[in-house]
A and B are shown apart, each in its own frame.
Chain A
Amino acid sequence: MTGTGTDGRTPGTERQRPGTDGRVSRTDSRTTETDNRAPGPAGRAACGAPFLAVVRPGALTTVQDLGRPGHAHLGVGRSGALDRPAHALANRLVGNPAGHATLETTVDGCAVRTTAAVTAAVTGAPCPVRVDGRPVAWGAPVRVPAGAVLDVGRAALGLRSYVAFGGGIAVPPVLGSRSRDLLSGLGPEPLSAGAELPLGAPCGPSAGVDAVPWAGPPAGGLVLPVVLGPRDGWFTPAALRTLARGDFRVAGASNRIGLRTEGPALERATEGELPSEGMVLGAVQVPPDGRPVVFLADHPTTGGYPVVGVVPEAELAAAAQAVPGTPVRFAPARFVPARG
């Protein structure tokens, strides 16, 4: 087995192009790492691009970017990172454009070994971050030497952390996106132990920041503005009052498809069947049990249950970080906010 450092010396690889000055110490760290730390199948790292080997996949860790809008008419949803600001920030910290793919963890993080030195950053749900067992900063670029294990720990607050690597996760895109859509099954499989994920070539210097914004869990729970319609007329006036005043909670069955709620049921004014119609991100769909479901990134493109209102996209990052049991209040409005 040969060393992991040879990849950077392959003629014509992206890593030798100018302008990648964010990797000042890369050559040093790569050549000082010994090959006995290289993971994975014998020799794999020597001749290919650098990659991540999954040591601990966590409860659910998926590759996510900004999704694949524009294909809903084919039954393909948008998908993409649920907490988009956190995803974009992680990318910015390592010098990537916002559209590069990151890892989205759920509850208990993940651990990966890198075959080449790389800059990484963890954002979203705050959590302990370790490199080969040594604590490093959350919310800041950190250097991960070749062969080292980056361990993203259990979320102290919130649900989903985002792990960006300089160059991004370079799995082949499907319809222009590397996102895993759990409903349609498009994109790379969720991480499993031993799986390997290729890394792209770093594209710029990592951002120098002193502090990263983290809103934290909202005091008193999650408040979701809802623009009423298109099917608010399918509900009784009492149901609309219940939507505005009811105490809901995030249900444990929530996932990337939707934030499910527990609480009072919304009563329908009509028992008619609604023919399937197009669904948008943030739609508050009310199934027959009357408990509102807020559609998140992997939502179906069409549906036959009435949508009482829509949560503007900018509010969904908080929804993506709300742990089961979090109190939820809806703030319905008849009119669309000035800018959603």
Chain B
Amino acid sequence: MTADRADARSGPPQEPSAAPGLRPLRVGPHALLVEVADTGEAQALHAELLRRRAAGTLPPVTEIVPAARTVLLDGLADPRALAADIVHWDVPPLAAADSQPVVLPVRYDGADLAEVAALWGVAEEEVARLHSGLEFRVAFCGFAPGFGYLTGLPEHLHVPRRATPRTAVPAGAVGLAGPYTGVYPRSSPGGWQLIGRTDAVLWDAAREPAALLAPGTRVRFEVDA
């Protein structure tokens, strides 16, 4: 048996990763985890994979799962062949405005509004103005069906998670954690800093599509007075 190219690349994380671009890692017999430098590159790679799938130039795959700095491809017949090919891909950067954003009306009255205002060094009412003035994009989903991790917060507005998670966060709650903004699709435990609430239905299994937000979806928040 010949050495597996993808396996040969799966070194420890501290290994110098001088080679830029796409780093495919083998995940069992039928999957590939493609590692990139950051979330922006992961979003660009995800968009490229969707383009290639739509064009019929990507081998059949069951799942394409973007995350913070990886995209997982699961259900591949021959992950080794794709791993060998993908390192030669030239992935164009994400287009800035490739679709219409989903607009979510928000009442900025969250339980952690004062805390977030203090962390941002602004007055409480400024949180709404700043947050609704930004443009976000769903980097990936996880945690619960329809829960999107939205990027777009500039670094000086990143906030830590709450030290103690809440046992119940209401559906529609808009929260912040690290670089992300998210909206809870249903009531669940959660540790994000809550700044507001929307009546938008993030997840409805009977709707098509069930998820309002999918990876790649652009999102704006709007002050709902």
Question: Which A positions have Cβ atoms within 8 angstroms of B?
Answer: 69-76, 174-175, 184-186, 227-234, 269-270, 272, 274-280, 282-283, 300-302, 307, 309-313, 334-337, 339-340
A69 and B142 contacting across the interface, CB-CB below 8 Å: no
**A280 with B205, Cβ < 8 A, contacts A74-B211, A270-B14 known:** no
Query: For the complex, would chain A's binding face be called helix, strand, loop or mixed by DSSP majority?
Result: loop
CA distance A70 to B31 in the complex (A): 14
- Convert B44-74 into 0s and 1s, putting 1 for each residue whose CB lies closer than 8 angstroms to a CB of A: 0000000000000000001111111111101
With A74-B214, A270-B14, A301-B65 known to touch, is A280 a contact of B74 (CB < 8 Å)?
Answer: yes
**Which interface class (under 10, 10 to 19, 20 to 34, 35 or more) fits B?**
35 or more
Contacts of B143 in A (CB 8 A): 75, 300, 302
For B74, the chain A residues whose CB sits under 8 A away are: 72, 278, 280
Residues of B at under 8 Å CB distance from A? 1, 3-4, 6-7, 10-15, 25-31, 33, 62-72, 74-75, 79-80, 140-147, 149, 186, 205, 210-211, 214-215
Chain A contacts for B68, CB-based, 8 A: 275-277
Q: How far is the CA of A270 from the CA of B14 in the complex (A)?
A: 8
Alpha-carbon distance A302/B144, docked complex (angstroms):
10
Interface centre among B1, B63, B69 (most CB of A within 10 A): B63
The docked-state distance in angstroms from the alpha carbon of A272 to that of B12 is 11
Nearest chain A residue, comparing its CB with the CB of B46: A73
Beta-carbon contact of A73 and B27 below 8 Å: no
**Chain B residue at minimal CB-CB distance from A336:** B29
Q: How far is the CB of B187 from chain A (nearest CB, A)?
A: 11
Q: Are A272 and B26 in contact (CB under 8 A)?
A: no
- Which residue of chain A has the shortest Cβ distance to B26 in the bound complex? A229
Given contact pairs A72-B63, A75-B147, A276 touches B142 in the complex (Cβ within 8 A): yes
Chain A CB within 10 A, most for which of B6, B140, B186: B140
- Chain A residues contacting B80 (CB-CB under 8 Å) are 336
